[in-house]
Structure formats: structure tokens, C-alpha cells
Amino acid sequence: MVVSCEQVWQEVSNYLDAEVEPELRAAIDQHVRGCRCCAAVMDGVRNVMQLYADERMLELPLGFSRRLHRRLEGELGGTRRSFFGWMAAAAVSVLAAGAFEAARSSVFSRPGLRSQHARASGHVPPDMLVVVAENGKTFHVSGCRFIHDQRSLRTIPAREAIEEGYVPCVRCMKKYLESGARLGAVDPAPPDLARS
Amino acid sequence: MTRLEEAHQIEEERLIQRVRDGESEIFYELVRPHERRIYAAAFAILRNQADAEDAAQEAVFKAFKHIRQFRREAKFSTWLIQIVVNEARMRRRKDRAELMEAIDKHGEDDRYTPRDFADWREIPSDVLERREVREKLAQALASLGPIYREVFVLRDMEQLSIEETAKALEISSSAVKTRLLRARLMLRDLLAPGLGAPWSSRLSFSQGTKPW
């Protein structure tokens, strides 16, 4: 099977998404090895995908979660809570405030999270070895393609990474993030969440 | 489906049922894992931080109100993003920005031919540490037509599958693939360094300084 430059350009996206049949894939590989233009297109599209997949390219506005949660509370809470509901919520708030103060004064309090789009660390196994960069914000599984600073990597247990303020990479730790958020996250929730 | 994914789904269904049974206060727990995606979807359409956040908030509230309409054939996240997309599109229509979309659709099926064949093999790993580089990439993305930007953001930035992207945007999988190809090729043309220097001239990098 032989493919032309035009065919390569039409299939470059499917090729990089691994959505082409093996025979076509082999033909594209062979073509690209001998065609400087198509190699440039292939490398460029791959770079585009890699650059934009980086979590730094789209960060949640600071305070987004808090504002969303407050808006939901405002829309839902006022009409639904009974007197007993409010009393219970007030009691929980007092307890939460006490717990918050206790946590603040604790010697084990965590440093601030390094990233504004921090997610619940969820079910990341605490003893799992992860990789962090000295000036980075996130921790990764070894070999994750979203590790940007390869020069100052350390391998430490996830527990330590969390304690140092690193947050899980939303790509390579995705399955843990989703499980954590759904199954009852371990990270501190916004203070007003304590009522729910 | 892996055991972990199965566990997620069971837990998600349990939470949905509790919300349906009246525990409205736990609805945020369902939404929280998808915050970034819903914001990204709104931002891709509205291109404005404040508008995107407002649309995302409104859409989440609508999702709560219509939680009984959620059918389990779809993933909750896809259903949620679909509502955000509809909300954002409605707001964009109000701003008459859909005129641009009409222009984009013209020629969508035409083949796109790359214009720049500059060699662009390696990107320094720390290039995105530079704020101006991130800004230029954001400008390039913003210059795409809405139908290409929506697909690209959901698929390449938020890592939805082709099928999830198609469902969220209510278009066919083949339309997703066509638009994605075009979006990627257009961005490559905008960003690839080379003769004509689209990167440095169009995106105002200082002369002679390439980010890679």
C-alpha cells in the first residue's frame, strides 16, 4: 500500500489518535520516513496536541469552585431547608469551625496547595511512588508525558507529595481523582462544604 | 470496564439517586470532579472568563433541576457538559456571535492543505513556563472558528474521547474527526516556526526569538 502526501495530511489526526488500520499505519510510516514535508506536518500536529494538553493551558479561575458551590447553595438551600435542617446545619458548622481551628493549630497542618486547580487527592494510594519536580505543582506517575521539568525530579510516596502541597496530575492520576471525588475525597473541602 | 471504573459508576449512580430522593446538598459532589471540563467547554464557546464561569454555574443549576431527565445510557459527565454547551451556545447566539459559525461551516468539508512545512521536531519541556508562550497559544486557539475550537478543547485539552465529544456537542463522530483534523492542522500552521515565520510575525514574538 502506498499513500500520497494528501492522504497523509487527511489521516494525520486519526494516525496520532491510533484510529487507523495497521496496513494504513505502516504505509504512512513508510511515507513519512522519506518525505520531509509530511514529517514536518506529523511532528507539528503532535507538538500542538502535546502543548495544549498541558494543564497549564487552561486553569480554572481562582475561586471558581467556591463560587460555584456558593451559587448552588444559594439556589438550593434557601427553599429546601426546614427549621430542623437549619439547626442541624448550624450545629455541623460549629463543629466544622472547631475542627478547622484545631487543624490550623496542628503541627501536622499541610502547606498551601501549589496549584489553584487542585483536586481532591482521592484514592491515590498513599504508598504509591510518584514523581515530583522541585518547582512543579503536580505529582505524576513515572514516565508521565506531562512532566515538564525533567531536571529536578524526586521519587517519593504519594503521601509525602500531598503533604508537601503537590496535587495529582489531572492526566496520569485521572482514575484516582475521579474515584476520590466520587467516593469521598480525603482532601479538605471548601469550608462551606462542611455543612453538606 | 475496569473494577475501579465500575466502582465509580456505582457510586455515581448512588449519589444521583440520593439527589433524586431529595438530598440536594450533595449534588455538588457529583459535579466537583468535572469542574474543569465544564468551565473549559463554556470557555471554548464564549472565550471570556466571566461569561464562561457564569454559563457554567447556570448550567450546573439547570442540571440539578433536570436530574430526573438524566438517562443512564450516557455518562453523567457527558450529560453535564452537554448542558453547559447548550447554555453557552444560547448565550453566544444572544451576542450574535453565531454569524462567525455560519462562516466556519462554509467549506467545512473541503480538504485543508497545510501551508507551512517548517521542521518543528522538538519542544523544550519548559516552554510553557513562559507566560507569553501560553498567551500566544491561547491567542492562536481563540483565532479558530467556534466549531473547531469546541471540538479541539474537549478532545485535546480535556481529553474526552471522540464519542464523548460527539455526544457533548451533539454532532456525529465523523464530524468530530473532520473538525479535529482541521483544528490541529490550522494550529500547526499558526504555530510552526519557519519561513514566513507565522509564530513570530503573527503572534508578535520579538524578532529572532522563537519559543522552540
| CATH number assigned to the domain comprising residue B127 | 1.10.10.10
Q: Looking at B20-24, B127-131, B162-166, which range is the least confident one?
A: B127-131
Mean pLDDT of A165-179: 76
In angstroms, the CA B39 to CA A60 distance is 7
pLDDT of A159 over the 90 cut: no
Cβ-based contacts under 8 A for chains A and B: 168
Q: Domain containing B61 — which CATH number?
A: 1.10.1740.10
Shortest distance between the Cα of A44 and any Cα of chain B, in A, equals: 6
Residue A149 or B201, more confident: A149
Given this model, what pLDDT does residue B125 score? 59
**Cβ <8 Å between A53 and B156:** yes
Mean pLDDT of B135-143: 89
Domain shared by B21 and B79, yes or no: yes
Residue of A nearest to B27 (CA): A72
Range of the domain at B143: 122-202
**Residue A167 CA, distance from chain mean position:** 8
3-state class of A2 per DSSP? coil
If contacts are CB pairs under 8 Å, which of residues 101-140 in chain B contact chain A? Answer: 111-114, 117-121, 123, 125-129, 134, 137-138
Residue B53 lies in a domain: yes
Query: How is residue B206 annotated by DSSP?
Result: P
Interface test with A, best of B5, B8, B9, B110 (most A CBs within 10 A): B8
Out of B68, B99, B130, a domain closes at: B99
Residue B126 lies in a domain: yes
Domain shared by B27 and B71, yes or no: yes
A139 DSSP β-pair partners? A132, A168
Mean pLDDT of B149-156: 96
pLDDT of A160 over the 60 cut: yes
Residue type, A166: Y
pLDDT of B201 over the 60 cut: no
Band (pLDDT 50/70/90 cuts) for residue B195 is very low
Residue B105 lies in a domain: no
% of chain B surpassing 70 pLDDT: 78
Q: Tell if the pTM clears 0.80, that is, is over it.
A: no
Count the alpha carbons within 13 Å of B118 in the hemisphere toward its beta carbon. 18
In angstroms, the CA A4 to CA A27 distance is 10
Mean pLDDT of B179-194: 87
Q: Which residues of B116-127 are buried (b: 16+ CB within 10 A; e: fewer)?
A: bbbebeebeeeb
In angstroms, the CA A132 to CA A135 distance is 9
Residue with cell 435542617: A85
**Cβ <8 Å between B4 and A40:** no
Q: How many domains does chain B have?
A: 2
Domain shared by B59 and B142, yes or no: no
**Cβ <8 Å between A53 and B49:** no
Residue B23 lies in a domain: yes
